[in-house]
Amino acid sequence: MPDPHKHPVEQPTFRSLMATSLFLGVVLLVCAARPGASSRFLSVITMLFFAIFVVSFGLYWLAWVLREHELWREGRQGEEE
Segments forming the whole domain that contains residue 65: 10-76
Tell me the whole-structure pTM to 2 decimals. 0.74
Question: Is residue 45 in some structural domain?
Answer: yes
Asked whether the predicted pLDDT for residue 81 surpasses 70, the reply is no
pLDDT in tens, 26-62: 998 888 777 776 678 888 888 999 999 999 999 889 9
Residue 36, by phi and psi: left (phi above 0), alpha (psi -120 to 50) or beta?
left
Question: Is residue 4 in some structural domain?
Answer: no
pLDDT of residue 52: 93
Question: Is residue 1 in some structural domain?
Answer: no
HSE toward the beta carbon, residue 19, CA cutoff 13 A: 5
Domains held by the chain: number: 1
Question: Is residue 5 in some structural domain?
Answer: no
pLDDT of residue 1: 47
Question: Is residue 24 in some structural domain?
Answer: yes
Question: Is residue 3 in some structural domain?
Answer: no
| Nearest Cα residue to 56 out of 12, 17, 7, 25 | 17
